[in-house]
């Protein structure tokens, strides 16, 4: 593996406008308007339809759930690269229910439940890591999709996509779309943020408590209660109307599975894994970064957010848009704003 270089985060002033369009982002307003209009008339996929149409793939002895939509390729989907949607912590395929119908008009869309989440296996005692998820993504592209693919990820799903793209030795990845990329598998990665430094003693205590089975079980039972989940989601979404009962159940139901507690403890207490600041310079693929400015987990004025804000001036392959009033999960929080930026970018990808 290449020697990692260290990049210092730079302070970037906040932008009062609705979205920050960087100098190398070429987007036409007419195309964006058409994209937004299309999105308004397409209802989200029903969660029951997602569950019914999801398929199974066996990876290293574990069963992985995934969706391909639509099942038959259109003419446009046959020409355009497929898309793979990778959810964040605690989420699953259904977290993309508001995006899949729009994206599937011109692309074959795949969505996957990472090991430990959704309907995928949650093996007892498994040691989760960012590298494991990145390898799962690469193997899925190789064995299931079998075409150069654009990866779209949210939070830790974004970071898994970054690692996969940086480590891919073949042309499996065509481009990257990152929604509020995480700095690590958990907050222990963000040691340069004064807010995390203040909380580090509490995080270490929390890690210690989670390693006590009885305490971990009690805390996890509290976390997955509907009212508590709803309050957490309301705190990380800018658009509170997007926090509906479907969303609460999308997060809650897999948390009731056997093995969900082990996954939660392993992910929260495990090593944070590779940092995107060391990985992004290795990537020459087209990259689109969409960042909600109301994210309490990876704020735009934190080390990771600041770093991504500087990239368009340093790397011509990177476009960034700051989405005002949007939280940690832009694709589900304000899908209309996301599609307005995403669809033109996808249409302008260079021919493979």
pLDDT of 16 reads 31
Closest CA to 178 of 106, 285, 44, 251: 285
What span, in angstroms and rounded, lies between the C-alpha atoms of 58 and 254? 19
For residue 211, what pLDDT is reported?
65
In the chain, domain spans: 47-348
How far, in Å, CA of 32 to CA of 49, rounded? 29
Is the separation of the CB atoms in 55 and 110 below 8 Å? no
- At 278-332, the pLDDT tens digits run 999 999 999 999 999 999 999 999 889 999 999 999 999 999 999 999 999 999 9
**pLDDT per position as a tens digit, 128-175:** 999 999 999 999 999 999 999 999 999 999 999 999 999 886 689 999
High-pLDDT (> 70) share of the chain, %: 79
Give the DSSP letter string of 34-92: HHHHHHHT-PPPPHHHHHHH-EEEEETTEEEEEEEESSSPPHHHHHSPPEEEE--TT--
- Per-residue confidence (pLDDT) for residue 72, from 0 to 100: 73
- Residues of the chain predicted below pLDDT 70: 1-41, 73-74, 169-170, 186-212, 352
Superfamily of domain 47-348: Alpha/Beta hydrolase fold, catalytic domain (3.40.50.1820)
Check residue 215 and give its pLDDT.
Answer: 74
């Amino acid at each position: 593996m290449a020697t990692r270089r260290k990049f210092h985060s730079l302070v970037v002033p906040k932008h009062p406008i609705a979205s920050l369009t960087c100098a190398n982002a070429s987007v036409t307003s007419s195309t964006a308007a058409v994209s937004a209009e299309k999105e308004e008339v397409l209802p989200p996929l029903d969660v029951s339809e997602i569950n019914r149409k999801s398929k199974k793939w066996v990876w290293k002895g574990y069963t992985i759930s995934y969706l391909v939509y639509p099942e038959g390729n259109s003419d446009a989907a046959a020409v355009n690269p497929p898309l793979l949607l990778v959810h964040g912590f605690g989420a699953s395929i259904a977290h993309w229910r508001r995006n899949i119908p729009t994206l599937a008009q011109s692309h074959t869309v795949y969505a996957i439940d990472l090991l430990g989440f959704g309907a995928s296996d949650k093996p007892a005692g498994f040691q989760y890591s960012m590298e494991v998820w990145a390898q799962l993504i690469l193997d899925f592209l190789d064995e299931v999709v079998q075409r150069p693919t654009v990866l779209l990820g949210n939070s830790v799903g974004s970071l898994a996509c970054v690692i996969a793209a940086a480590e891919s030795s073949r042309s499996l990845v065509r481009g990257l779309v990152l929604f509020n990329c995480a700095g690590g598998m958990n907050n222990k990665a963000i040691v340069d943020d004064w807010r995390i430094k203040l909380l580090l003693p509490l995080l270490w205590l929390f890690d210690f408590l989670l390693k006590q089975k009885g305490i971990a079980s009690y805390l996890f039972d509290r976390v997955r209660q509907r009212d508590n989940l709803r309050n957490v989601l309301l705190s990380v979404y800018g658009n509170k109307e997007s926090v509906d009962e479907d969303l609460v159940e999308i997060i809650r139901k897999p948390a009731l599975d056997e093995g969900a507690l082990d996954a939660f403890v392993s992910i929260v207490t495990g090593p944070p894994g590779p940092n995107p600041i060391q990985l992004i310079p290795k990537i020459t693929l087209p990259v689109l970064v969409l960042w909600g400015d109301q994210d309490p987990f990876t704020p735009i004025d934190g080390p990771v957010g600041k770093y991504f804000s500087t990239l368009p001036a340093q790397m011509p392959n990177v476009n960034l848009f700051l989405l005002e009033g949007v939280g940690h999960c832009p694709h589900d929080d304000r899908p209309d704003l996301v599609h307005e930026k995403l669809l033109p970018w996808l249409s302008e990808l260079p021919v493979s």
